[in-house]
Structure 1
Amino acid sequence: MNHPKDTPAAVRVRQQRYRDRQAKDGLVQVQVFVPTAQVEKIREIAVQMQDNPHLQFAPIQKIGD
C-alpha cells in the first residue's frame, strides 16, 4: 500500500524488496481491485482457478463504502 508522501523511488524500492522476499518462497502476492458490479464474475473465475494447486486465494473483501 502506498503512502501519500512516498516518492516514486521509495515506492519502487519497497515493492522490489517485497518481491525479493516473496521470490525466496517462489510466491508472488497479487491484489486485485475490481468494481463492485464485477465481484460475482471475479468470484466465478477465482472458484475455477482454485483447482490449481499452485494458487491460494484470500477471501474477497470489500473496501471503502
Structure 2
Amino acid sequence: MKIKSITQIGNEISIITDTGESAVFYSFSAHKDVYTTTSPGLYKYQLKQFKKDIVKSEWNVEQLKEWYL
C-alpha cells in the first residue's frame, strides 16, 4: 500500500491509497490521540506508522506530504 493523496479537511486529515482505499484521521486530546475511520479494504493496523507521524508532525499536512508523497 502506498499513499497517493493527503488532504486536510477541517481539523481532520484524509488519505487515499494507490488501491483507492481511504482513511480519515481525527484528533483527540489536543492532537495527542488519533482516531481513524477507514474504507472496508483498509485495515487500521496498516496505518500505525502514519498515525505516529501525524502526531510527530503536529498535524502538519505539508510535512506529511513531504514524508509520504
For the superposition of Structure 1 and Structure 2, which TM-score range results when normalised by the shorter chain?
Answer: under 0.3
Which has the higher relative contact order, 1 or 2, with Cα contacts under 8 A spaced 6 or more apart? 2
Which structure would you say has the larger Rg? 1
Decide which structure has greater helix share.
1
Q: TM-score, normalised by structure 1?
A: 0.28
Decide which structure has greater strand share.
2
Q: TM-score, normalised by structure 2?
A: 0.27
